[in-house]
Structure 1
Amino acid sequence: MTASTTRCTTVAKSRTPRASRMAAVAAIAVAGSMLLTACGDQTNKPKQANEPSGPPPIAAPLADRLPQDIRDKGVIKVGSDIAYAPVEFKDKDGKTVGIDPDLADAMSRQLGVRFEFENATFDTLITGLRAKRYDIAMSAMTDTKDRQLGIDSETKKKVGEGVDFVDYFNAGVSIYTKKGADQGIKGWADLCGKKIVVQRGTVSEDLAKAESAKCVKAKKGKITIEAFDNDQQAQTRLRAGGAHAGSSDYPVAAYTVKTSGGGKDFQLVGQQVEAAPYGIAIAKGNTQLRDAIKAAMDAIIANGDYKKVLDKWGVAAGAVTEAKINGGS
């Protein structure tokens, strides 16, 4: 093989007479084009089956923060109740969308692994973490001391080892009723003797139980609480007239009021209460993964991706300026 076929930077000088210079220029142009094609211009080259598409990948800046087993798998498995719009839900094409999936996508660019959401009922997520079905739980979960310590919020008995949280958003709890039919409900104290629908295992259920105890003590009649596996079931029950009110986290209640029936089904009543942080739950002892998730969340807060997500979904009022570990009370 000659040097002219193996090197791409050397072109022989032309000794063509002046009279035929134009023809020589054309020939050199064609030859140069062929050389470029052979050596560096891949525009018309058929792509091989194992050849990557698109630009070369950019190294994820925080990849080395992750545990090695997750880096090897290339995926973080996320337990989530994917029926809680706009935090996480299925769109008309069945794709998982919402605030949490968008934040997870932004964090994936920092960590260099995919976040794979797996659907489950909300009250089984922490159990799933303990059983190692998921690496994290990201599902509009309020960070509370009881959850950190593995204590049942109703019985106050120890039921597990608890979880750690990376807090990333603030949200309160709201009440909503059928539109034009608030039946005098302006806040939690007005629910005595009435029926409320909630999602099982949520702060809304805890608040309803606590308020019902106050009602009984004041001899105003207990609150009848009907709890469902997901918030959409609770909404359906209220829409059909099976309860006086519903309750969920403010971003969810506001989205429901705005979108259900084109905004004609429900209305918010009173003010949101019990503002507290949403946390990404990670099993106790998995501190390397916890700290990597915190670093990734801090990074997207700093680079503006976090703000873009919250603005997109209209929930900028719940933004935080930094992620915190176990900031709930």
Structure 2
Amino acid sequence: MTASSTRRTTAAHSRLAALGAIAVAGTLMLTGCGDQTKDNGSDSGTTTTAPLADKLPKSIRDKGVIKVGSDIAYAPVEFKDNAGKTVGIDPDLAAAMGKQLGVDFQFENGTFDTLITGLRSKRYDIAMSAMTDTKDRQEGIDSDTGKKVGEGVDFVDYFTAGVSIYTKKGDDQGIKTWSDLCGKKIVLQRGTVSEDLAKAESKKCPKGKKIAIEPFDNDQQAQTRLRAGGADAGSSDFPVAAYAVKTSGGGKDFELVGEQVEAAPYGIAVAKNQTQLRDALKAALDAIIDNGEYEKIMKKWGVTDGAIDEATINGGK
């Protein structure tokens, strides 16, 4: 996700794979979920023979668990399947990394704009939720006000994605670019880069033709509003928008319009004082890139064009 101080996108890179590839996951329908519910969404399995276990802080090795703050309503990155299990790109990556580190990654659901606060209060050990690595987040800056609101976080970058606009199918109203939204209404998830982009674009619109922005706690609520005719367009990260276009109403509800913009890295957020944990996560991510598990996960979810070759710390701009 993308956001004011917490976005899911920013510096140019590659495009994601074609929509048809995302259909691999198309049989899984998006379902809602309550805030702050726990879910052991990974099946990594604790093992004393894990090759990178000694890189973790002893406190986490002793617990055998890494608590993950995540907004589990963002298919195909993380969401609940019909059986209520947490699935998606992030849980699969976490499970593979867990095998390297000898711990379970325990996903705990929370609204996206509270995840860094939860990390700061030690509710979570990490936040992994399609969160875009940005300088503002690294430095604890509120991008709306430019004021410092916290100590910031470090990121271990693991994927690249851009932001897309989508409309009701067959009713794009001439919307192809962000400037075409002037005088129209857009729905999106609160605290994301989509909201940042909409606010920035609205300032450029002619007087009396500002963009009406309606934010929601999660992307599914925004989709529901657009589906019901309550807005002209919606916006979210490309893999999420593409998945919604492919699956909602059997592919009959929405269509993508224009090009994705603001391509930037997704990062696993870690508290600034947890450098050992940060470095262990980087080592685990590099290990699954090297052994081919990372590529298998990218192919499974049809997002190989967003794949990276090497983990990076704080690569966001």
What is the TM-score with the length of structure 2 in the denominator? 0.85
* 1:72 and 2:56 correspond: no
* 8 Å CA contact 2:167, 2:254 repeated in 1: yes
Q: Deviations over 1:72-125 (max 9, x none)?
A: 000000000000000000000000000000000000010000000000000000
Q: Which amino acid aligns with 1:84?
A: Y
CA contact (8 A) 1:151 1:162 kept: yes
1:63 paired to 2:53? yes
Counterpart residue number, 2:137: 147
Aligned residue in 2 for 1:232: 220
2:167 to 177, 182, 192: 177
Does the CA contact (< 8 Å) of 2:47 and 2:102 recur in 1? no
**What are the residue-to-residue correspondences of 1:158-173 with 2, within 5 Å?**
158-173=148-163
Question: Shift in Å at residue 57 of structure 1?
Answer: 5.5
| C-alpha distance after superposition, 1:235-294 (max 9, x if no partner) | 000000000000000000000000000000000000000000000000111100000000
| One of 83, 91, 95 as aligned partner of 2:85 | 95
Helix, strand or coil at the partner of 2:163: strand
The corresponding residue for 1:187 is 177
* 2:80 corresponds to 1:128: no
2:24 paired residue number: none
- Which residue of structure 2 aligns with residue 319 of structure 1? 307
Structure 2: segments with no counterpart, 5+ residues: 1-45
1:258 aligns with 2:255: no
1:282 to 255, 270, 275: 270
Amino acid at match of 1:164: D
Other structure's SS at 1:132 match: coil
Q: How far apart, CA to CA, are the structure 2 residues paired with 1:61 and 1:189?
A: 51
Aligned residue identity for 1:264 = K
Contact 1:175 1:253 in 2 (8 A): yes
**Which whole-Å CA distance do the structure 1 matches of 2:160 and 2:57 have between them?**
28
Deviation of residue 187 (structure 1)?
1.1
| Structure 2 CA distance for aligned equivalents of residues 325 and 113 of structure 1 | 21
Aligned length: 272
Please tell me whether residue 203 in structure 1 is matched to residue 203 in structure 2: no
Contact 1:192 1:220 in 2 (8 A): no
2:102 is the alignment partner of 1:112:
yes
TM-score by length of 1: 0.82
Separation (CA, whole Å) in 2 of partners of 1:174 and 1:164: 26
State the one-letter code of the partner of 1:93. A
Cα contact 1:192–1:223 (8 A) shared by 2: yes
Sequence identity (%): 81
Deviation digits for residues 142-166 of structure 1, max 9, x if unmatched? 0000000101111111111110000
Q: Once the 2 structures are TM-superposed, how far is the Cα of residue 219 of structure 1 from its aligned partner?
A: 3.2
Structure 1 residue runs without a partner (length 5+): 1-55
CA contact (8 A) 1:77 1:115 kept: yes
- Mapped to 2, the partners of 1:323 and 1:187 lie a distance apart of 32
Structure ranking higher on relative contact order (CA contacts 8 Å, 6+ apart): 2
Q: 2 CA distance for matches of 1:303 and 1:109? A: 12
The 10-residue stretch of structure 1 (144-153 or 220-229) with the greater mean CA deviation from structure 2: 220-229
Q: Distance in 1 between matches of 2:278 and 2:239?
A: 25
Mapped to 2, the partners of 1:100 and 1:194 lie a distance apart of 34
Q: CA deviation at 1:58?
A: 6.7
Superposed displacement of residue 220, structure 1: 6.1
Distance 1:286 1:258, change over 3 A: same
Partners of 1:82 and 1:72 lie apart in 2 by 27
**In structure 2, what is the equivalent of residue 298 of structure 1?**
286
User: Cα offset for 1:221?
Assistant: 1.1
Counterpart of 1:309 in 2: which secondary structure? helix
User: Contact 2:163/2:194 (CA < 8 Å) preserved in 1?
Assistant: yes
Instruction: Point out 4+ residue stretches in structure 1 off by more than 6 angstroms.
Output: none
**What residue in structure 2 maps to residue 22 of structure 1?**
none
- Counterparts of 1:259 and 1:133, CA distance in 2: 33
CA spacing shift, 1:289–1:204, aligned 2, 3 Å:
same
Paired residue for 2:235?
Answer: 247
Larger Rg: 1
Tell me the alpha carbon deviations over residues 121-152 of structure 1, each in whole angstroms, 9 at most, x when there is no partner. Answer: 00000000000000000000000000001011
